[in-house]
Structure 1
């Protein structure tokens, strides 16, 4: 007899002494997390918990056998050892206390109450939120239950289905795993789940920033001020208090720039580089950061548009970073196997690109103003090639001419756009003197646009023959030439940066444009590796593998600078309060 129970429900242990006395072969598996799980998650705002209890020592005190399993890799051996023991055994299985016991169907009011409890100050709320996001991502691609007839029903549940007829002797069984053997959540449910968890992560991130800010910048009296007419205010002190979370959000929205979506692009491509390099845990963490950042920036941009009540071409082609961020994130999520969410992001990114790829240049043409070409113009190419990359990635999972043709067409369009913009930007740089202040980090997109064109070409080379419209030999040749040009551009861009900051002594300060430098570095590594594998050139693939860690290091440096600049911005905008 084997009994499975939790540590909270294993309170009446007197019967275990009877089992020891009569040497009954009863095996008790205790799932230990030192938490009253269901009570904690149902009444989280009351902070219910329990004291730790060592079930192994209890079993040994009863002259029985006690075992502890902390590593899942030893579970099978320890279980066999316990079952072979002649007498009662307690098996203590240590699990994560932050694992949420989610019901089969989560209702709206339950999710709202959970978010309210997390905001109220639940201990370890950040770990809980990250674990929830991880569970949702894992749930959307866990192994299906036995039985070929099983599958999701119309309500998002899971039906068992009938067993498929077994093949007769000598008959070859049918292979039904063309689209993978993993169960996929319905599209609507996937979107709701990931949106909810990404929103939760954004709220937790905002609360964390507020808590750290309060710890770094505590309330302190300021020096006496002066009146409007020069009158001296005697013994008047002004107390500075940190702003609340909504004041923080309002401040960030007022300082919002559309180039901030480059943060999602850079984080998504570095996550993909780390995943290809085998660092799966760090890659998954960056994927969560990219998803939460995309949701937060999308909400901030919507609020920013509502405050302005108008749209203009002031940002120029930089506004296309919205489409590029959505498509880069979709490509990374497709690699993780979450097709439903990736398709929604791809559809959104393609729709935004289809609107902006015409409206932005049209607005610039008819505005009657002169516009100087700079590195931000290459975002037009990045947006176009991001559609090609995401669509080609989806085509590898579902081979179809309906997907391969748009991917090939977007690659060809992006290639022509790159050649035209490169000629315009180079003509401006060579024919007109350039000040050091004008040489901003977005000139790195010159290289990044070529790198994403290489990645799109490599993805097209990996498609089955006959589904595209561009000859494979042409794609391979152009991709190799673009990769060579990318490699040539990197030393030139580094030299220009040294000239700007060392020779001309322009201070290196934080700006959103720094993410426009991180994205090309990460994209160059991913594109190099993919091109090497597509063309069979192992030495090129090896170069891409070696470029992963420099890209991750640059991402970490820029991310640290962004956090520091955010706290400094909040510190400079603390609201005064009279005592």
Structure 2
């Protein structure tokens, strides 16, 4: 397990959000397969986390200071959101509490060891924060628990501030040289759009009909438009500067792809723009394809790394 870096949590994020997107598309059987894969990856990563906490405290502390550690928060919120769709509300509440606790522990450590210029992984400060919004707003409707709505709205603003701070220091040369996590630049926008869409539904359920409701509707549409533009720009960069070798950070490419699909469908339903839904439906399949490729590549990488460790021992 020494070959598993903290950023591997993006694999649980990607497979989890693909499951959400497939559910939104009405393909439930396929969605549940991806949910099982995501939960399996998450469970393995929790095991690695605990093993390092007990057996290699120095490495655990060093990794907790990096933005990649925040994938633990994002993965937990994404999977928590998915299980709500199965009616498992108690598990989702537990996921929200766990994610909020880990977020509160890791955020000060990551910010305290901030380095610049920022790279794609730094956008996880936004992604992890907006993940709490997505899960919180979804629970606000499902339980119901209207008190979660203003908390989620305030957290949404915090997430957008985090995105803008990271963006102001982002090196756009990453679009040419990044190893995969540069896509989180779009992933931050995608999960922010999804969070806004979830907030619209939560505000409707809570009876919020004033200016906050109008603002969040406009924000959802604008952020989604920026996300789709960023998605297109990143695809063009991939064609212009191909990066075909395996890197675990490629899971941070798959996540924004799946998140953009889920966000597009959610916002389309929330603001009443059915033409957007077809775009989201189409975007699901590139995300599925990339996840399948990465599952195979990751398995081969772990087998190869395990063989190397055995030989060295």
TM-score, structure 2 normalization: 0.92
Residue 407 of structure 1, aligned match among 139, 152, 164: 152
Residue 557 of structure 1, aligned match among 288, 293, 313: 293
Structure 2 CA distance for partners of 1:261 and 1:434, relative to 1, 3 Å: closer
Matched, 1:263 2:11: yes
Q: Which runs of 5+ in 1 are unaligned?
A: 1-252, 365-369
Q: CA deviation at 1:561?
A: 1.3
Residue 373 of structure 1, aligned match among 100, 118, 122: 118
Structure 2 CA distance for partners of 1:461 and 1:549, relative to 1, 3 Å: same
Aligned residue in 2 for 1:302: 50
The answer as to whether partners of 1:404 and 1:468 remain within 8 angstroms in 2 is no
* Separation of aligned partners in 1, 2:106 and 2:93: 20
Structure 2 CA distance for partners of 1:469 and 1:343, relative to 1, 3 Å: farther
Q: Which has the larger radius of gyration?
A: 1
Aligned residue in 1 for 2:94: 344
Matched, 1:514 2:255: no
Matched, 1:476 2:217: yes
* Separation of aligned partners in 1, 2:54 and 2:42: 18
Aligned residue in 2 for 1:420: 165
Q: CA deviation at 1:510?
A: 1.6
Q: CA deviation at 1:571?
A: 3.7
Aligned residue in 1 for 2:241: 500
* Separation of aligned partners in 2, 1:312 and 1:516: 21
Q: CA deviation at 1:336?
A: 1.3
The answer as to whether partners of 2:7 and 2:69 remain within 8 angstroms in 1 is yes
Question: Which of the two has greater helix per residue?
Answer: 2
Aligned residue pair count:
309
Question: CA offsets per residue over residues 341-367 of structure 1, 9 Å max, x none?
Answer: 111111100111122222321243xxx
* Separation of aligned partners in 1, 2:175 and 2:209: 45
Structure 2 CA distance for partners of 1:465 and 1:309, relative to 1, 3 Å: closer
Question: CA offsets per residue over residues 107-135 of structure 1, 9 Å max, x none?
Answer: xxxxxxxxxxxxxxxxxxxxxxxxxxxxx
Aligned residue in 2 for 1:280: 28
Q: 3-state SS of the aligned residue for 1:312?
A: helix
Q: CA deviation at 1:574?
A: 4.0
Question: CA offsets per residue over residues 343-397 of structure 1, 9 Å max, x none?
Answer: 1111100111122222321243xxxxx5431111100000000000000110111
The answer as to whether partners of 2:175 and 2:234 remain within 8 angstroms in 1 is no
Question: CA offsets per residue over residues 449-478 of structure 1, 9 Å max, x none?
Answer: 100000000011112244599701111111
* Separation of aligned partners in 2, 1:385 and 1:468: 23
* Separation of aligned partners in 1, 2:210 and 2:134: 15
Q: 3-state SS of the aligned residue for 2:169?
A: helix
- Higher relative contact order, chain-length normalized (CA < 8 Å, sep 6+): 2
